[in-house]
Amino acid sequence: MRYSQLLLKTTKESKQFDSINATLLIKGGFIDQTMAGVYTFLPLGWRVLNKIENIVREEMDAIGAEMLMPTLSPRSLWEQTNRTGFDVLFEARGANKASLAKNDTAFIINPTHEELITPIVQKMKPSYKDLPFGVYQIQTKFRNEERPKSGLLRGREFRMKDLYSFHVSLESMQEYYEKAKEVYMNVFRRVGLGDDTYIVRASGGDFTKDFSHEFQTVCESGEDTIYVNDEGDGWNKEVATEEVQSSYTQHPASEVGNIFPLGTKFTKAFNYHFRHEDGQEKPVYMASYGIGTSRIMGVLVEKFHDERGIIWPDSVAPYTVYLAGLNGDDETIRNQADGVYKALQKAGIDVLYDDRNVSPGDKFGDADLLGIPWRVVVSKKTGGQIEVKRRTEQDNTLMSAEEFIKQVTN
Ligand code: ATP
Ligand code: MG
**pLDDT tens digit string along 250-299?**
999 999 999 999 999 999 999 999 988 888 889 999 999 999 999 999 99
90-108 average pLDDT score: 82
Name the closest-CA residue to atom 19, ligand 1. 292
> In terms of DSSP bridges, do strands 351-354 and 374-378 run parallel, antiparallel, or are they unpaired?
unpaired
Residues 138, 119: Cα–Cα separation, whole Å? 19
Q: Is the CB of 255 under 6 A from ligand 1?
A: yes
Answer with the residue of higher pLDDT: 373 or 280. 373
CB 139 less than 6 A from any atom of ligand 1: no
CA dihedral 195, 37, 147, 143 (to 10 degrees): -90
Give tens-digit pLDDT for 16-33: 888 999 999 999 999 999
| Pocket lining: 330 vs ligand 1, CB cutoff 6 Å | no
| C-alpha radius of gyration, the chain, whole number | 25
Mean pLDDT of 137-160: 96
Task: Say if ligand 1 is within 6 A of residue 45 CB.
Answer: no
**CA separation for the pair 169, 263 (Å, rounded):** 9
The finding on whether 299 has its CB within 6 A of some atom of ligand 1 is: no
Alpha-carbon distance 181 to 268, whole Å? 26
Identify the weakest region by mean pLDDT among 1-10, 13-22, 98-107, 175-184.
98-107
Strand partners for 32: 40
Of 146, 258, 288, the residue with max ligand 1 atoms within 8 A of its CB, to mutate for a pocket test, comes to 258
142 pocket-lining for ligand 1 (C-beta < 6 Å): no
Q: Report CA(320)–ligand 2 centroid distance (Å).
A: 33
317-368 residue pLDDT tens? 999 999 999 998 899 999 999 999 999 999 999 999 999 999 999 999 999 9
- Provide the pLDDT for residue 103: 66
Q: How confident is the model at residue 190 (pLDDT cuts 50, 70, 90)?
A: very high
Residue 10: pLDDT over 90: no
| H helix intervals, 257-374 | 265-269, 293-303, 331-346, 360-370
Res 11: pLDDT: 74
Ligand 1: atom nearest CA of 112 is: 10
- Name the maximum alpha-carbon separation found in the chain: 83
Please name the residue whose Cα sits nearest to atom 23 of ligand 1: 292
Measured by CA distance, the residue closest to atom 8 of ligand 1 is 255
Which residues hold their Cβ within 5 A of ligand 2, which is an ion?
A: 258
Task: With a cut of 80, say whether residue 188 has pLDDT above it.
Answer: yes
Work out the pLDDT band at 7, boundaries 50, 70, 90: confident
Looking at the predicted structure, is the pLDDT value of residue 208 above 80? no
Instruction: Please state the rounded mean pLDDT for residues 95-117.
Output: 86
Atom of ligand 1 nearest to the CA of 162: 14
User: What separation in Å is there between the alpha carbon of 81 and the centre of ligand 2?
Assistant: 20
Q: Answer left, alpha or beta for residue 348, where phi above 0 means left and psi between -120 and 50 means alpha.
A: left
Q: Which atom of ligand 1 is nearest to the CA of 160?
A: 16
State residue 69's pLDDT score.
98
* Mean pLDDT calculated for residue range 126-150: 94
User: Is the minimum distance from the CB of 213 to ligand 1 under 6 angstroms?
Assistant: no
The rounded Å distance from CA 213 to ligand 2 centre is 9
Lowest-confidence segment of 47-56, 105-114, 251-260, 344-353 by average pLDDT: 105-114
Over residues 136-165, the mean pLDDT reads 97
pLDDT bucket at 100, cuts 50 / 70 / 90: confident
54-70 mean pLDDT: 98
Give residue 61 CA to ligand 1 midpoint distance, Å: 22
Task: Tell me, using a 6 A CB cutoff, whether residue 141 lines ligand 1.
Answer: no
Q: How far apart are CA 373 and CA 324, in angstroms?
A: 14
Q: Which atom of ligand 1 is nearest to the CA of 257?
A: 18
138 lines ligand 1 (CB under 6 A): no
Please calculate the CA angle 225-227-233 and round it to the nearest 5 degrees.
135
Contact 160 CB / ligand 1 (< 6 Å): yes
pLDDT at site 113: 98
pTM score, whole prediction: 0.96
Q: Which residues pair with 114 in a beta bridge?
A: none
Listed range (2-6, 120-124, 195-199, 317-321) with the worst mean pLDDT: 2-6
